[in-house]
Chain A
Amino acid sequence: MAEYVLQMKNITKTFGPVVANKDVNLYVEKGEIHALLGENGAGKSTLMNCLYGMFDSYEGDVYFDGELVNIVDSRHAIALGIGMVHQHFMLIPVLSVIENVVLGLKENKEVLDLKAAAKEFTELGKKYNMEIDPWLKVEQLSVGQQQRLEILKALYRKAKLLILDEPTAVLTPGEIDSLFDMMRQLTDEGHTVIFISHKLNEIMKICDRCTVLRLGEVAATVDIAEVKDRQQLASLMVGREVELETTTKPVELRDKRLEVENLCVDNDRGLPAVKNMTFDLYGGEILGICGVDGNGQSEMVQCITGLREATSGKIVINGTDTAGLNPGQILGLKVSHIPEDRHKYGMVGPMTLDENLILVSYKQEKYSSRGFLRWKWIAEQSESIIKSFGVKTPGIKELAKNLSGGNQQKLVVGRELERTPDLLIAVHPSRGLDIGATKYIQQQIVEQRDMGTAVLMVSTELDELIELSDRILVVYDGEIMGIVERKNASREVLGPLMAGVRD
């Protein structure tokens, strides 16, 4: 009979009419690594946020260490020994490492003794082989270091159960391995880990058992030892057989569409983010940009699309040097841009769908004449775009923010592809989408390539890159580490390059 450190029974959580979790049962054994698997929007984070006390209320019973508890604030969760590392780190960049560590501790005296805390923190770091200078500001740390700080922060609070929400998304393959080592060290010491992920091979590699969530309900809880392959997990997650591979036609190269030469770009803080990049892109191919977030991809794309100025170097699109052109003029060179964050850049949430669909082309003859918008014609066009790209909505007068994430992305993709671009720049096109929507968007991108469009695709999902790209350009710290042909592309080849290791 296994000893359960955590039992969540019949948990139901609703947000207005939306049911995020329904009758969910989760049993976690002491000392195991328990995976929580599910697509985006399946309710993994909601369930864990319930456990961590981020909501005022939920239905159902939670037993921790055998006792019935009702956790409605994080202070309570922490006191019980629950620690959580959120997908978006809960660190305050302008404060020092040690200030972040002690923040909110109930043991704090009114006048802080940071020196004593720093000593204790350093010892803890030594124990787990991840020392961090306690007096640095958090904004000076790398993403990997920040994640280690988050884990140490939880351990400093004597966490017995550690929840890691999609921890590998921001790491290189090498860093992922050392994270896994640490997870094993922790469980050997008697800690328990809940590992939230949608990456099947990672779960197969590290976890003992796995609970699969689908549309807010538990689909199954399985022993990983008894799972025969990742296909089986995938079917559980999606609820039907899924095809994990797509087939692609051979490349048929057209003319040169994008030429980047010795490009250097600074980031917001004035530090070099892109260092001397040179590459070409031809019609009819997909060039994948591979790298962990924050290695200069965003700045590079912003520079190509005119949102950021280059410090030096040259960009030529369709034969036109884009120096001095504004974003509007660059989009006018038959460039389409699916931006990295659709909420931030790609759409205007409080506007209607038809207002969103003219965001880029409102000045064109088609949509306006003499400064006046042609709403009737816009409505007709919008109806047809929505239909052909399968955006699910009550009508074109719905506000964009009311659509689901997948439909919002289809809206953006539909708007950008409808312009029949020569160069398509797609940044994290499938981020935050479920498998159905992801497949649809990927298929649209491949179709563009087959039609002869040049596609520049930035992604952090290795599987997506390997599957779709004809060539993969790996960036690390703003530099090109190498360009890998489709036939050579594999995790083993890309991993070291992503970590900045060139042989």
Chain B
Amino acid sequence: MLEFTVNFLAATMRTATPLLIAALGLVFSERSGIVNIGTEGIMLSGALLGCIGSLMFESSLVGAVFAMAGGALLGLLFAFFTVTLRSSQVVVGFSLNIFAAGLTVTLNRLILNGVRVTSYPSYAIPGLSQIPVAGPALFNWPLLVYFALLAVPLSWFVLYKTNIGLKIRAVGEHPKACDTVGINVFKMRYGAIVFSGIMSGLAGSFISMGQLSMFVENMVAGGGFMALAVVVFGNYSPGTVLVASLLFGASDALKFRLLMTPVGIGFSQFMNMLPYVITIVALCFFAKRSNKPACSAVPYRKD
């Protein structure tokens, strides 16, 4: 029983990590008034670029840098079209997904083709990881898992206690008012989108290099959209976003658990539906969140 619980918790953490990283980035861009459904595509690109970097330099660290750089670049593109040119965020995000799907498949066939790359190494916490049964499973993670957990209080502090956090929250609520007190709305939104792009890229690289050690076409499989749902479910706030990611991670862990039961094998497709169904259910019960910015997805025009 203990072993079951420990394994379940470990699986939860492992699947929750990329969601949490992406969602923490999205908290900032959503709060600044941007809805980026292209997150899916950015994560997919991050997954691919991470593997390419890792393959080329035989270093998962370089892979992470590749993934973040790619995320930043795609974020910049998204920002240019939606903030500067004021095109529909939904359409630009949608086409970003198509673009990324094409790009990753093309580059994958060209460069990777299912080759195994250096994955994120695990680091054990001295002492805690020595605990029998629970230790090795729960206190021995890739760095990104620790990073994701540390990023929760850090994001909270930045969002609620600092000057830049106040500006980000204000820009999503009433961009015009921000303009009248001398805040550059465009700069704030660019910054938030690029930051969110970096986090999404990093999250994608965890899917390919933290959960597996290879790239598989379309491996994100809706994870970007789930991250968006996690942000809504988590009421646009880092602490609750953590809880939401863990719940989503648990549903994924449950899926894998069920797939190993006799019923699960016969109805594997229905088990696979579980995370998607959970996402929908979560959205339904938590659609109207109090922290949703008033000017969400509305482009800002200066005059």
Binding site for B on A (CB under 8 A): 15, 52, 54-56, 73-76, 78, 84, 86, 90-95, 99, 102-106, 108-112
B181 touches A111 (CB 8 A): no
Q: Which residue of B lies closest to A94 (CB)?
A: B173
Interface pairs (14), CB distance under 8 Å: A15-B303, A55-B302, A74-B181, A75-B182, A90-B174, A92-B170, A93-B174, A94-B173, A94-B294, A103-B181, A108-B163, A110-B162, A112-B161, A112-B166
Q: Is B179 in contact with chain A by the CB < 8 A criterion?
A: yes
Q: Let me know if A111 and B179 touch, CB within 8 A.
A: no
Q: How far is the CA of A102 from the CA of B170 in the complex (A)?
A: 11
- Contacting residue for B166 out of A86, A91, A103, CB 8 A: A103
In the complex, given contacts A54-B303, A90-B174, A92-B174, what are 4 additional A-B residue pairs having Cβ atoms less than 8 angstroms apart?
A73-B184, A74-B181, A103-B183, A111-B161
Partner of A54, one of B167, B169, B180, B184: B180
- Residues in B with CB closer than 8 Å to A55 are 302-303
Q: Name the residue in A55, A76, A95 with the highest tally of chain B Cβ atoms < 10 Å from its Cβ.
A: A95
Chain B residues with Cβ under 8 A from A52's Cβ?
Answer: 180
Do B163 and A99 have beta carbons less than 8 Å apart?
A: no
Give the residue name and chain of the A residue nearest to B163 (CB): A108
Which of A86, A106, A111 gathers most chain B CB within 10 Å? A111
The list of the 5 closest CB pairs from A to B, nearest first, reads: A75-B182, A104-B181, A90-B177, A108-B163, A90-B180
A54 touching B179, Cβ below 8 Å? yes
Contacts of A86 in B (CB 8 A): 180
Shortest CB–CB separation between residue A164 and chain B, in angstroms? Answer: 14
Complex partner residue of A104 from B162, B173, B182, B303, CB under 8 angstroms: B182
* A94–B163 CA distance with the chains assembled, in angstroms: 16
- Are A90 and B163 in contact (CB-based, < 8 A)? no
Interface residue count on the B side (C-beta < 8 Å): 22
Q: Which of chain A's residues has its CB closest to B164's CB?
A: A110
User: Given contacts A54-B303, A110-B164, are A74 and B182 in contact (CB under 8 A)?
Assistant: yes
| Nearest CB in chain B: distance from A169 CB, A | 18
Q: Separation in Å of the B243 CB from the closest CB of chain A?
A: 22
Task: Give A90 to B183 CA distance when docked, in angstroms.
Answer: 13
Main secondary structure of the interface of B (DSSP, over half): helix
The verdict on B176 contacting chain A, using a C-beta distance below 8 Å, is yes
- Which partner residue on chain B sits nearest A86 by CB separation? B180
In angstroms, Cα B170 to Cα A104, docked, is 10
> Smallest Cβ distance from B194 to chain A, in angstroms?
19
B167 to chain A, nearest CB (A): 7
Query: Chain B nearest CB: distance from A374 CB in Å?
Result: 34
What chain B residues lie within 8 Å of A78 (beta carbons)? 181-182
Number of A-B contacts (CB under 8 A): 72
The reply to whether A84 and B180 form a contact with Cβ atoms under 8 Å apart is: yes
Assess whether A106 is in contact with B182, with CB atoms less than 8 Å apart: yes
A75 to B180, CA, bound (A): 8
Complex: how many Å from CA A54 to CA B178? Answer: 11
Which residues of B lie under 8 Å from residue A109 when comparing CB positions? 163
With the chains together, A102 CA to B182 CA distance in Å? 12
How far apart are the CA atoms of A63 and B183 in the complex, in Å? 24
Known contacts: A92-B174, A99-B166. The answer to whether A74 contacts B303 by CB under 8 A is: no
Is B161 in contact with A103, judged by CB distance below 8 angstroms?
no
Expressed in whole angstroms, the minimum distance between the Cβ of A101 and any Cβ of chain B is 10
Which residue on chain A has the smallest CB distance to residue B178?
A104
CB distance from A373 to the nearest CB of B (A): 29
CB atoms of A92 and B182 under 8 A apart: no
Whether B169 pairs with A95 at a CB distance below 8 angstroms is yes
Q: Which residues of A contact B173 (CB under 8 A)?
A: 92-95
What residues on B are CB-neighbors of A108 within 8 Å?
163
Q: Cβ of A103: which chain B residues have Cβ within 8 Å of it?
A: 166-167, 170, 177-178, 181, 183
Asked whether A90 lies within 8 Å of B176 as measured between CB atoms, the reply is yes
Most chain A C-beta atoms within 10 Å of own C-beta, residue among B162, B177, B294, B303? B177
Contact A74 B180 (CB under 8 A): yes
Contacts of A94 in B (CB 8 A): 173, 294
Whether A56 and B302, one on each chain, are in contact in the complex, defined by CB atoms closer than 8 angstroms, is yes
Max chain A CB contacts within 10 Å: which of B166, B167, B170?
A: B166
Scoring B166, B169, B182, B303 by chain A CB atoms within 10 A of each residue's CB, the highest score goes to: B182
Nearest Cβ on chain A to B168's Cβ, whole angstroms:
11
Which residue of A75, A91, A105, A111 is within 8 Å of B162 (Cβ)? Answer: A111
A84 cross-chain contacts in B, Cβ below 8 A: 180
Is the beta-carbon distance between A73 and B182 smaller than 8 angstroms? yes
Residues of B within 8 A of A112 (CB): 161-163, 166
User: Within 8 Å CB of B180, what residues of A?
Assistant: 52, 54, 74, 84, 86, 90
B22 to chain A, nearest CB (A): 25
- Shortest A54–chain B CB gap in Å is 7
Residues of B contacting A91 with CB < 8 Å?
174, 177
- Whether A110 touches B163, Cβ cut-off 8 Å, given contacts A15-B303, A92-B170, is yes
CA distance A76 to B184 in the complex (A): 12
Q: Which residues of A contact B294 (CB under 8 A)?
A: 93-94
**Interface centre among B166, B179, B180, B181, by most A CB within 10 Å?**
B180
Q: Are B170 and A74 in contact (CB under 8 A)?
A: no
Give chain B interface residues in 121-180, CB to chain A under 8 Å. Answer: 161-164, 166-167, 169-170, 173-174, 176-180
Instruction: Tell me, in angstroms, the Cα distance from A405 to B178 when the chains sit together.
Output: 27
Closest B residue by C-beta to A90: B177
Choose among B161, B163, B167, B178 the residue with the greatest number of A CB atoms under 10 Å from its CB.
B163
Q: In the complex, what's the smallest C-beta–C-beta distance from B293 to chain A, in angstroms?
A: 9
| Central interface residue in A84, A91, A104, by most chain B CB within 10 Å | A104
How far does the alpha carbon of A147 sit from the alpha carbon of B161 in the complex, in Å? 26
A111 vs B166: C-alpha distance in the bound complex, in angstroms? Answer: 10
When chains A and B are docked, how far (Å) is the Cα of A35 from the Cα of B130? Answer: 78
User: Please, which residue of chain B has its CB at the minimum distance from the CB of A15?
Assistant: B303
Return chain A residues, CB-CB under 8 Å to B164.
110
The distance in angstroms between the C-alpha atoms of A424 and B32, with both chains bound, is 43
Distance between Cα atoms of A94 and B170 in the complex (Å):
9
A residues near B183, Cβ cutoff 8 Å: 103-104
| Contact in complex: B179, A95 (CB < 8 Å) | no
Q: What B residues does A95 contact at CB under 8 A?
A: 166, 169-170, 173
Q: With the chains together, A119 CA to B162 CA distance in Å?
A: 18
Question: Does B163 lie within 8 Å of A54, measured CB to CB?
Answer: no
Query: Closest A-chain residue to B303, C-beta based?
Result: A55
Shortest distance between the CB of B143 and any CB in chain A (Å): 26
- Mask: chain B, 85-111; 1 = CB below 8 Å from A; 0 = not: 000000000000000000000000000
In the bound complex, CA of A110 to CA of B162 (Å): 6
Chain A residues positioned under 8 Å from B303 (CB to CB): 15, 54-56
Q: Which A residue's beta carbon lies closest to that of B176?
A: A90
Contact with A along B252-286 (1 / 0, CB 8 A): 00000000000000000000000000000000000
Measured between beta carbons, the chain A residues less than 8 angstroms from B174 are: 90-93
The interface centre, meaning the residue of B161, B173, B179, B184 with most chain A CB atoms within 10 A of its CB, is: B179
Tell me the complex Cα distance, A56–B53, Å. Answer: 43
For the complex, what is the distance from the CA of A78 to the CA of B183, rounded to whole Å?
11
Among B161, B162, B177, the residue within 8 A (CB) of A92 is: B177
Q: A112 vs B169: C-alpha distance in the bound complex, in angstroms?
A: 14
Q: Which residues of B contact A73 (CB under 8 A)?
A: 182, 184
